[in-house]
Structure formats: structure tokens, C-alpha cells
């Protein structure tokens, strides 16, 4: 039987404990996962692509079933290039659902073979996002417990609180 690979795309600026929850739960369903970091300069991320890649690799260094990669362009093209057809996305609130639903429909329009699967985040991460975490960290807030320790340290360094 062929191993089932899933793609978990996102900006991951930075990776949070909510992302890790989705990753760990998805690995109970799939054999392998590619964390695909979107390289989208229009989003003006806080961390460079290299910084995000290194942080994720550091956080997941003991997880042999995960590959960290990056991509430009259409997600459906990337998914097919990895020889799979499944994308996993996490959902928190209704606003996430509306956006993700639109994206899934567009991806289906672009390539009917690519399937989107949605996992609800664990309740304790329901109100957290990378954006909110960055905002709190930029003002000197303690975001430990919301992000892995290496990410917390990098946020402090980035905002001059280290």
C-alpha cells in the first residue's frame, strides 16, 4: 500500500502551537507531511523564508515523517509536483471557514484532483493566530505557551526584548 502524503501549506510567520496541534493530529491520519511555506513577498512577513524554514525544522527535528519545503505560485501545481492530491488546513473561527472554503473552491476549479481536508484546531488555540501573537510580542507581551520556545526566543530577538 502506498504511503499517503499530505501538504500543509501556509505562511507560518511564525509557526504556533496551534499549527503544531494540526500537524500532530494530521499525522494520525497521514503517513507523511510536507509543511509547505508559501513564499509570498506581498504578505511582508516578519521572518524571512529562511528564518521560518529554520524555526520549523528546529521545532520538528525529531519528526522523521515531516519535510519542510517552500513554494511559489499556485498551491495546486505544488501539490501535484509532490505526487499527492491532498491539502490539510486548520480552522478556528467562522471567518477561517469562509476564507478556506473560497480557497478550496478555487483550488478545485484549478485542479479537480486536489482535495482539501479541514481540521478544527484544539479549543485552547481557537483565538490565537500568528498575527495576534506577533502583535503581542511586538509590545513586549509574553507569548510563551502560544509558540514553541525557539519561536518565542526569535520573536524577542526580532522585537529587541531578548
User: Domain with 43 in it: what CATH number?
Assistant: 3.40.50.620
Q: What three-state secondary structure class fits 101? A: helix
Flag whether 74 is in a domain: yes
For the chain, how many structural domains are there in total? Answer: 1
Q: Which domain holds residue 100?
A: 5-126
Residue 67 clears pLDDT 80, i.e. is over it: yes
Task: Tell me if residue 155 falls in helix, strand or coil.
Answer: helix
What is d(CA 156, CA 140) in angstroms, rounded to the nearest whole number? 8
Structural domain contains residue 143: no
Q: Is residue 21 part of a domain?
A: yes
**pLDDT value of residue 92:** 84
Q: Rounded mean pLDDT of the chain?
A: 94
| Segment 113-125, tens digit of pLDDT | 999 999 998 888 8
Instruction: Inform me whether the pLDDT recorded for 5 exceeds 90.
Output: yes
Give the bridge partners for 91, in sequence order: 120
pLDDT band at 68 (very low <50, low <70, confident <90, very high): very high
Position 162 in a domain: no
Task: Give all strands (DSSP E) within 13-60, no chain letters.
Answer: 32-38
Cβ–Cβ < 8 Å for 148, 59: yes
Rounded-to-integer distance, Cα 49 and Cα 77, Å: 20
CA–CA distance, 71 with 21 (Å, rounded to integer): 23
Q: Note whether residue 37 is domain-resident.
A: yes
Catalytic residues: 19, 43, 92, 130
Omega cis (within 30) before 14: yes
Residue-wise pLDDT tens digits, 129-153: 999 999 999 999 999 999 999 999 9
Task: Give the C-alpha separation, 57 to 87, whole Å.
Answer: 20
Amino acid at each position: 500500500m502506498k504511503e499517503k502524503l499530505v501538504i500543509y501549506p501556509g505562511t507560518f510567520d511564525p509557526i504556533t502551537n496551534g499549527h503544531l496541534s494540526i500537524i500532530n493530529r494530521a499525522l494520525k491520519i497521514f503517513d507523511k507531511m510536507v509543511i509547505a511555506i508559501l513564499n509570498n513577498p506581498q504578505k511582508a512577513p516578519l521572518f524571512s523564508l529562511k528564518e521560518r524554514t529554520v524555526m520549523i525544522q528546529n521545532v520538528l527535528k525529531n519528526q522523521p515523517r515531516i519535510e519542510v519545503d517552500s513554494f511559489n505560485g499556485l498551491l495546486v501545481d505544488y501539490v501535484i509536483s509532490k505526487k499527492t492530491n491532498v491539502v490539510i488546513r486548520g480552522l478556528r473561527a467562522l471567518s477561517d471557514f469562509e476564507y478556506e472554503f473560497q480557497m478550496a473552491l478555487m483550488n478545485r476549479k484549478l485542479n479537480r484532483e486536489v482535495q482539501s481536508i479541514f481540521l478544527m484546531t484544539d479549543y485552547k488555540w481557537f483565538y490565537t493566530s500568528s498575527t495576534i501573537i506577533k502583535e503581542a510580542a511586538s509590545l513586549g507581551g509574553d507569548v510563551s505557551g502560544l509558540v514553541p520556545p525557539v519561536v518565542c526566543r526569535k520573536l524577542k530577538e526580532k522585537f529587541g526584548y531578548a
